[in-house]
A and B are shown apart, each in its own frame.
Chain A
């Protein structure tokens, strides 16, 4: 089975974030890691390869700095990678990112496309669904289990207060939720081996999708105003209840 995993690189989830003057997150000096949701997908993909045979290829939209995440995925057991090199990748919205990834995937002949259901930084949860739509493939998201069956895949998806088990034919798109697989810790042997695995770099400029403008443009960013302290109404229960009702009616005007 030929599996392609879309991998994003993000700032370490424990990092202390500082904001630039325009309100965007300062990336300089930050530890960059493979996105945790991408990592779940890579792990399951490598497991499926180990079970079923085939190949795992990573697909990343980003700049040269993102190679660290790619190398990590290769050390985990992926066989090769494609980097859509794009210095403007951080400015691209989810629709553009999905368009670029889908265009690359058209020529990659994947039986299964995987990725994180959202990313640890922007958490838009848009890209994998849009990729599936663009390629016209069935899509399962928030996957916590993914197994190969005689007819395709059986995927367990997290839904509110439960799980949904879906069967789908291949090719398909599966977006990983935490719990899909516990990512392995690559050994030094794996890390060394990853240095020799092929990484194909394809400039974004060569993609038709790169020319399309962003569907949404960020106008400005601002922090949420600090929460004002609440008020404590004192007195006996009956008095406090009456006073609270009065405040809700007269001051907050919600009653």
Chain B
């Protein structure tokens, strides 16, 4: 073979220059639609998401370019990577052809032609077509995806582009008798379809199909930013703009600001631009909905539907708000320049200074604006009520499972909390049973409303010093409301106190000065009650010079470690699971190696067989302990290993539920749901208890008082006798066996 491998680019096409005006037109369409979207999130409140550029860029490379997050879900994730990679290869190939055809670069030849432009591109094209077909089949088969006509249109168009590409290649091979056609196996096979056709027939069909292929491609580019394909731009941007704040941190509201007129989000424009951007970047991939415990048990909440409903409302309301604001700004500028033109000296200068005045709140502008009836109907729709159902808003446990799995790093729960904040703080609209909780927190600093003077009763007879009695204690031990008032959780406090003593930890409690941390109040939207509780706690802690705090409730952990710094309370907070693991590690508590290790019974773990009764474990076999991750210890604080280490140190074997670790399934009590009635659907705790029982455990362990309560109740509902214990109780029980 002496000849250089190549092919004639744009064979049989006489007027290929047409692609450039078409491309420009298509890109103009895409640019126009993109601008329309950009205006939507423009109406949101400011928020800085451009700090730490290096970290953001690295994240974008990892999770958008390299698709790390996408492939965490194997099946659809890998298909996505296949189509993404194939599309990238096809784009390079098209660009190469264009470079040869119009820039005169001799690229389409030699080994590069054979190995890349022929073989690799052929394979990529085939992968692309198969991936598209697979996606269409998946959408037809999986009704849970709630596919829309647009989804099929996009997939169908992409598949048609791929298939016509191969047909064109086949026609070219058939028409030119290409000696290198073996390097384009799929195209070569397609050429077989046209065996026996005359050159004229091939030429005519090829030309027609070529223009059709182009039209489809340019149509898709024009439609790109209008359709869900805009995610090609928005998801990488969303990954770049993801939250880098400590997990679960909520926006600071300055309750001492005299000028504070509103709080939370009562309208779309009271969300931040990133919140609104999120609604546009959501591609309805369904992962959040599949992860959501509320959705799983039939509650009226889907994080996906939340995003989509906000996005749909934004597409209606956004342009009106944008226009009204723009008009108001223009009117203000005109008035200012007029005043400047008329007035002389001081007055004029003053008016010019006000050339970019702060506009009135959108609500006032909208109320005064001249709107059509249809527009008025749109702006009158309430965010919670008309757009988002209150039942959906209040079903959220803020467990964060949706955010954990979102490949675009969208932030669902902060939006929910912001809307709750508005509902509670400004509208006083919330599930009626929450009122008693709010009252109890206000009057007695605990959610049960037990007299605040009785907070330390749990410690009677345990000889636990208060900080007043022992001001030099290394740690402040913060039992929290559950640990102090709830009969079941007091046993955890007792066990923990005994273990701390045993390990020689120097600690004291705050006593009756301690109040509820306010975490539940804040996540239920009652920023005012949170602020009162937090301020009093911070004053007490700072007055005592507290530096290190042991908590036994992950919700207290969240408040003390993540919420309080905003109000001037900065402490080193440690959960008892972390501390106990460290004490074992340091040898201050013994590692209780269980007797002879039993053969692993992994097979039971996920099989869902009837729970093995505790008695079934052979004597000397380490107990099978199913550990349930608390959302606020696991997902929010990234503490997964330590509580398990405590279970193992007790000589037990840890068995895992299918959903554990970062993918754990909430007990149902987070986000203040502990204090609310459960409405429609199954109870979340019952569902989680069933998952735990499916592992055939001898015991279920947790590290959160709410989880302890919810799973214990779940056991009662399931008529099961498997004990539920906090890890402190479990370890102490083993220690004193």
Residues of chain A at the chain B interface (Cβ within 8 Å)? 12, 14-16, 18, 29, 31, 33, 182, 184-192
Q: By the criterion CB–CB under 8 Å, are A14 and B425 in contact? A: no
Partner of A189, one of B426, B438, B444, B527: B426
Partner of A187, one of B260, B428, B453: B428
> Which 9 A-B pairs have CB atoms at the shortest separation, nearest pair first?
A16-B451, A187-B428, A188-B425, A16-B453, A185-B435, A12-B443, A31-B443, A188-B528, A14-B449
Q: By the criterion CB–CB under 8 Å, are A184 and B451 in contact? A: no
Partner of A14, one of B426, B435, B438, B450: B450
Q: A12-B444, A33-B443, A187-B425 are in contact. List 7 more A-B contacts (CB 8 A).
A: A12-B451, A14-B444, A15-B444, A184-B428, A185-B430, A187-B428, A188-B426
Contact partners of A184 in chain B: CB under 8 A: 428
Q: By the criterion CB–CB under 8 Å, are B528 and A191 in contact? A: yes
Which residue from chain A places its CB closest to the CB of B450 in the assembled complex? Answer: A14
Range, interface on chain B: 20 to 34
Q: Taking the complex as formed, is B51 at the interface, i.e. its CB lies under 8 A from any CB of chain A? A: no
Cα–Cα, bound, A184→B450 (Å): 21
Contact partners of B194 in chain A: CB under 8 A: none
B423: shortest Cβ distance to chain A, in Å? 9
Cα–Cα, bound, A185→B453 (Å): 25
- List residues of B (249-283) whose CB comes within 8 Å of A's CBs: 260, 262-263
Contact partners of B428 in chain A: CB under 8 A: 184-187, 190
- List residues of B (666-706) whose CB comes within 8 Å of A's CBs: none
Cα–Cα, bound, A16→B430 (Å): 30
Contact partners of A191 in chain B: CB under 8 A: 528
Q: Taking the complex as formed, is B427 at the interface, i.e. its CB lies under 8 A from any CB of chain A? A: yes
Q: By the criterion CB–CB under 8 Å, are B443 and A189 in contact? A: no
Q: Taking the complex as formed, is B226 at the interface, i.e. its CB lies under 8 A from any CB of chain A? A: no
Could you list 10 A-B pairs, sorted by A, with CB under 8 Å? A12-B443, A12-B451, A14-B451, A16-B453, A31-B452, A33-B443, A187-B425, A187-B426, A187-B428, A188-B528
Which residue from chain A places its CB closest to the CB of B264 in the assembled complex? Answer: A188
Q: By the criterion CB–CB under 8 Å, are B444 and A31 in contact? A: yes
Cα–Cα, bound, A241→B404 (Å): 72
Main secondary structure on A side of the interface with B? loop
Q: By the criterion CB–CB under 8 Å, are A15 and B453 in contact? A: yes
Contact partners of B435 in chain A: CB under 8 A: 185
Q: Taking the complex as formed, is B424 at the interface, i.e. its CB lies under 8 A from any CB of chain A? A: yes
For B427, B438, B439, the residue with the greatest tally of chain A CB atoms inside 10 Å of its CB is: B439
Contact partners of A185 in chain B: CB under 8 A: 428, 430, 435, 438-439
Contact partners of B544 in chain A: CB under 8 A: none
Contact partners of A33 in chain B: CB under 8 A: 443
Contact partners of A182 in chain B: CB under 8 A: 432
Which residue from chain B places its CB closest to the CB of A29 in the assembled complex? Answer: B453
Q: Taking the complex as formed, is B454 at the interface, i.e. its CB lies under 8 A from any CB of chain A? A: yes
Cα–Cα, bound, A224→B260 (Å): 52
Which residue from chain B places its CB closest to the CB of A182 in the assembled complex? Answer: B432
A34: shortest Cβ distance to chain B, in Å? 11
Q: By the criterion CB–CB under 8 Å, are A187 and B427 in contact? A: yes
Contact partners of A29 in chain B: CB under 8 A: 453
Contact partners of A15 in chain B: CB under 8 A: 444, 451-453
Interface flags, B211-228, vs A, CB<8A=1, else 0 = 000000000000000000
Contact partners of A190 in chain B: CB under 8 A: 428
Q: By the criterion CB–CB under 8 Å, are B454 and A189 in contact? A: no
Which residue from chain A places its CB closest to the CB of B531 in the assembled complex? Answer: A188
Q: By the criterion CB–CB under 8 Å, are A14 and B527 in contact? A: no
For B438, B449, B452, the residue with the greatest tally of chain A CB atoms inside 10 Å of its CB is: B452
Cα–Cα, bound, A191→B527 (Å): 13
Interface flags, B429-450, vs A, CB<8A=1, else 0 = 0101001001110011000011
Interface flags, B486-497, vs A, CB<8A=1, else 0 = 000000000000
B203: shortest Cβ distance to chain A, in Å? 76
Which residue from chain B places its CB closest to the CB of A16 in the assembled complex? Answer: B451
B429: shortest Cβ distance to chain A, in Å? 8
Contact partners of B450 in chain A: CB under 8 A: 14
Contact partners of B425 in chain A: CB under 8 A: 187-189
Cα–Cα, bound, A188→B432 (Å): 17
Cα–Cα, bound, A190→B424 (Å): 11
B358: shortest Cβ distance to chain A, in Å? 21
Contact partners of A186 in chain B: CB under 8 A: 428
Cα–Cα, bound, A133→B466 (Å): 54
B345: shortest Cβ distance to chain A, in Å? 38
Which residue from chain A places its CB closest to the CB of B424 in the assembled complex? Answer: A187
B402: shortest Cβ distance to chain A, in Å? 28
Which residue from chain A places its CB closest to the CB of B425 in the assembled complex? Answer: A188
Partner of B263, one of A14, A18, A31, A188: A188
A31: shortest Cβ distance to chain B, in Å? 5
Interface flags, B532-559, vs A, CB<8A=1, else 0 = 0000000000000000000000000000
Cα–Cα, bound, A251→B427 (Å): 66
Contact partners of B262 in chain A: CB under 8 A: 189
Contact partners of A16 in chain B: CB under 8 A: 451, 453-454
